[in-house]
Amino acid sequence: MAGPGAPADGPGGAALLSASRFSRWISSSSSAGGTPPYLAPYFAAKAAMDSLAVLYARELSRWGIETTIVVPGAFTKGTKHFANSGRPDDEARVAEYEAGPYKGFGEEVLKAFAAIVPDDADVTGVADAIVDIVNMPFGKRPFRVHYDPAQDGADVGFTVLDRLRAEMLHRVGLSDLLKPAKRV
């Protein structure tokens, strides 16, 4: 299992991965959700990570390496994500926002997320989903798996985007990149 950056690390990275006994790459991705102040770089990075994971999937497919992108939803418990996000280290910038029309907005966003994430949302479900993917036979793993108790709409958005990307590959004659080649 690896995050974006792993398959192409070093010369011949995909060939080395293909030659190993492993024929899968699992990446975590996300892109839905709002973009409140202070979090623009975070959401931009999430979108970039997803694009990188999708492109690596295409690069790895002819090597017979199957890719699954796991898209976890927001979890307000079980991680320290929300405790450590939404407030920049730059106190001057915080003061500017707090003195203007965004006064109290960071706290408002945290409360809003807490209200939509179900009380029983358990982040270990993401790990369980990854274990299920690993245990699936080659050729049966889905390209993308969503585990989002809050149902923020990422599944709908990614379904449309993945379909558009697949249609483009069909149009340019590269539809073989949508599924991993059979390993010999």
Residue with tokens 């959700």: 33
Three-state SS at 100: coil
In the chain the domains, ranked by start, together with CATH numbers, are 13-178 (3.40.50.720)
Residues 38-76 have pLDDT tens digits of 677 878 888 889 999 999 999 999 999 999 999 998 887
Contacts of 12 (CB under 8 A, 6+ apart): none
Quote the pLDDT of residue 3.
45
DSSP 138: T
Longest dimension (CA), the chain: 64
pLDDT, tens digit (0-9, with 9 covering 90-100), for 1-24:
444 455 545 445 555 565 555 577
Tens digit of pLDDT for each residue in 110-141?
788 788 889 899 999 999 999 999 999 999 99
Backbone dihedral region of 153: left (phi > 0), alpha (psi from -120 to 50 degrees) or beta? left
- pLDDT tens-digit readout, 74-106: 887 888 776 666 667 888 988 988 899 989 887
